[in-house]
Amino acid sequence: MTVPAIRAEAARLLAHFTSQGAQPFETGILQPAETLLDLYGEDIRARAYTTQDPQRGEMMLRPDFTVPLVQWHMENGADPARYAYAGEVFRRQEDHPDRPTEYLQIGFEIFDGSDPAQADAEAFATIRDALGPLTPSTGDLGILTAAIDGLATTDARKQALKRHIWRPARFRALLARYSAETPAREAIRSEAPLIGKRSAAEIDARHAALAEEAQTPALTPQDRSTLDAILALRDTSPAALAALRHLANRTPHLAPAADRLEARLDALAALGVDPTCLPFQTTFGRTLLEYYDGFVFGLAPGPGHQPVATGGRYDALTRLLGRGRALPAVGGVIRPDLALEAAR
């Protein structure tokens, strides 16, 4: 695939999205590292290029457009808004040396809280319609969050599970831990001098939390089986909705999540997307960098292929960037090089 062909495809996609009413967005290739680090943590360092500037401090080669776009919109934008952008993004590929470290990315993002199901459907349909025929995948991490909220356990355990939704191995380890009795641990005191910023009160608080942990009963077999069923849910969208409704009978916390899925499927059908042709897997998109927390989707040439497009809802990310101010947002990105390859 030649570079001019990829650039032409990127230009075509950008023009397509702006013709649909999206406002073009531009931002620098060098981005301040601090915000990105604060959001994504050390994971981003292993996946983005960092560089040092004596005046500006640590900078990063743009790993995505989402963060600068959300910041720009919060400062200057008016709700509702739709944006499109195109430009290079840079990702380190230590685990996949064969993948490119620099590529073009085209994005389409919707900031509109009035009807989330409608916005989800619009984001998916707009991106799908911009591309040739591809195999879709969908998921919804909001269902997993709802299932955690429905567990008969302490808030501490629910928080810990939610904190690790995007780390599947750690999540499984926590579930295993919470599914057994927790052995009590003696709160020993140390004669060693306390050094560093962490205070004695914080150490005491953690010992109290450990004591509470030891008193917390294991997850009930029913809770565990509901959660396992949610994690394993993989079917066509209408069948997944039916399974979720069935689970909601014994776990009422799941009912609003099922309602959201149903509203989304209705909105998709209204836009010409047949839900029976839409595979659904609750945990799809769990390990993407973007930390989607609701509807998630991908479009690929076939199973096992690298996706041409990925997207989803990222309300939690905007809440973090907005210091608590909620800003419902959904969107997706396309790799024009992979789009051309898939179309051949």
Partner 1 sequence: MTLKLGIPSKGRLMADTMDWFPTRGITLEKTGADREYAARAVGIEGLDLLLLSASEIPRELARGRLHFGVTGTDLIHERLAPVEAFVAEEAKLGFGQADLILAVPMAWTDVRTAHDLDAVAAQFRAAHGHRLRIATKYHRLTRAWLKEQGVADYQIVDSQGATEGTVAAETAEAIADITSTGETLTANHLRPLDEPPILQSQATLWRSLTAMLSDEEQAALDRFRVKLGL
In the complex, minimum distance from the CB of residue 48 to partner 1, in angstroms, rounded to a whole number: 13
**Coil, strand, or helix at residue 68?**
helix
In the complex, minimum distance from the CB of residue 189 to partner 1, in angstroms, rounded to a whole number: 7
In the complex, minimum distance from the CB of residue 68 to partner 1, in angstroms, rounded to a whole number: 21
Closest CA to 62 of 46, 48, 76: 48
Bridge partners, 60 (sequence order): 31, 50
Whose Cβ is closer to partner 1: residue 133's or residue 193's?
193
Dihedral sign for Cα 291, 150, 183, 202, please: positive
Dihedral sign for Cα 92, 26, 8, 10, please: positive
In the complex, minimum distance from the CB of residue 196 to partner 1, in angstroms, rounded to a whole number: 4
Bridge partners, 312 (sequence order): 296, 331
Token pair in block for residue 333: 């990105």
In the complex, minimum distance from the CB of residue 188 to partner 1, in angstroms, rounded to a whole number: 5
Whose Cβ is closer to partner 1: residue 164's or residue 234's?
164
Cα 142 to chain centroid, rounded: 10
Can you tell me the distance from the alpha carbon of 31 to that of 59, in angstroms, rounded to the nearest whole number? Answer: 6
Whose Cβ is closer to partner 1: residue 41's or residue 54's?
41
Q: What stretch of H or E contains 281?
A: strand 279-281
Q: In the complex, which residues of this chain contact partner 1 (CB under 8 A)?
A: 37-38, 41-43, 45-46, 94, 97, 159-160, 163-164, 167, 169-170, 173, 177, 187-190, 192-198, 200, 202-203, 205-207, 209-210
Contact 256, 180 (CB under 8 A): no
Can you tell me the distance from the alpha carbon of 26 to that of 18, in angstroms, rounded to the nearest whole number? Answer: 13
Whose Cβ is closer to partner 1: residue 88's or residue 204's?
204
In the complex, minimum distance from the CB of residue 253 to partner 1, in angstroms, rounded to a whole number: 23
